Amino acid sequence: MSASITSNPGFNASTAAEEVAAVLSSHIAGKTILVTGVTPGGLGAHFAKVVAAHKPKLLILAGRSVPKAAETARELEAAHPGVATRTLELDLGSQAQIRKAAAEVLSWPEPIDVLVNNAGIMATPYGKTVDGIESQFGTNHIGHFLFTNLIMPKLLESKQGPRVVNVSSNGHRLSDIRWDDFNFQDGKTYNKWLAYGQSKTANILFSVGLAQRLGSKGLKAFSLHPGTIMTNLGRSATQEDFEALQALDSGFGEFKFRNLSQGTATHVVAAFDPKLDEHNGAYLQDCQPAPDEDLKPHAVDKNSAARLWKLSEELVGQRFDV
């Protein structure tokens, strides 16, 4: 029987990341893995901690705060002596800084085998990146779009089947891409949940676009919904904000919270399960490709993926041709 999670119905919403990683251990060992958003206590840091137990070649911890990334690195090294770590300053709200970070990655000798675009913000008050893009769309999507494409040469150097994982959310159901007004009339019509939904739809469409454009070169790309987890991600949202969310879309129903280990289990599947090679571009939840009823058509439309790629290129001022 294959040691693949997607063929094992025993793995589900309550499965721990440690359990998944134990099954996929041989697919973690020896790989160089770059994770964005690694603040202690968050999903990215916990994912890195789980992976560190299975002999990766190198864990690269990227975040806006170098001291916080260094704290996570120290925690990993204390728990798993001998694990190799490296920190990288990455501010997804600044295209100039993203370019500087990417140049640093390109200067390193190692290929990147797995990139996990985990960093993000949620339901923040209206704001813009330094480049003038609404902050949730700019940080959650545009920043990762630019960083991923700039370091693509390092991913394509991998001899172990390079992967990109974009952490999305079931919040994608809240909004399609606002093609003619992604900045909400410069904040005049801003709704923090619609903005979050737009950015999460973009994460899924970016994975679809990567699979379309670079699948022939061996790249696999996936997006995922980790579940509802109490982390610092929701620090800007109040109880009233969550009530407004449920009023906006009753389909969310009652929130069922998961712990960090359950929340990162699907990260591990997306990053390492070889069975997913047959599902390039897929959106995952509960350690499985999501059922159709949990995925809004606007988030997987191939024409929309191509349109978003073009819009993203315009917003970063650079084309990324295959």
Of 151, 169, 150, 166, nearest to 317 (Cα)? 150
Q: Map out the domains of the chain as residue ranges.
A: 17-244+257-316
Angle at 182 between CA 179 and CA 186, to 5 degrees: 140
pLDDT digits (tens, 9 = 90+) for 187-208: 999 999 999 999 999 999 999 9
Predicted confidence band of residue 4 (pLDDT cuts 50, 70, 90): very low
CATH node for 17-244+257-316: 3.40.50.720
**Sign for the pseudo-dihedral over CA of 143, 113, 154, 217:** negative
In angstroms, the Cα distances linking 280 to 158, 203, 270 are 17, 14, 10
Q: Are 210 and 219 in contact (CB under 8 A)?
A: yes
Rounded CA-CA distance 27/25 in Å is 5
Q: Are 179 and 134 in contact (CB under 8 A)?
A: no
Active site residue 283: no
Residue 9: predicted pLDDT: 55
DSSP 125: P
Given the residues 126, 190, 196, 283, select the one marked as catalytic: 190
pLDDT digits (tens, 9 = 90+) for 25-64: 999 999 999 999 999 999 999 999 999 999 999 999 999 9
**Sign for the pseudo-dihedral over CA of 51, 53, 55, 59:** positive
> In sequence order, what are the residues at sequence separation of 6 or more whose Cβ sits closer than 8 angstroms to the Cβ of residue 195?
126, 134, 136, 137, 175, 184
% of residues, the chain, pLDDT over 90: 84
pLDDT digits (tens, 9 = 90+) for 279-297: 999 999 999 999 999 999 9
In angstroms, the Cα distances linking 303 to 134, 136, 178, 257, 309 are 23, 23, 15, 34, 10
pLDDT digits (tens, 9 = 90+) for 90-134: 999 999 999 999 999 999 999 999 999 999 999 999 999 999 999
Q: Are 199 and 144 in contact (CB under 8 A)?
A: no
Residue 254: predicted pLDDT: 55
pLDDT digits (tens, 9 = 90+) for 229-252: 655 555 556 667 667 776 777 665
Output the 3-class SS for 19-60.
HHHHHCHHHHCCCEEEEECCCCCCHHHHHHHHHHCCCCCEEE
Three-state secondary-structure class, residue 194 = helix
In angstroms, the Cα distances linking 172 to 175, 223, 249, 299 are 6, 11, 11, 7
Residue 264 has pLDDT above 70, yes or no: yes
Q: Which tokens sit at 138?
A: 């700019």
Predicted confidence band of residue 14 (pLDDT cuts 50, 70, 90): confident
The pLDDT mean for the chain works out to: 91
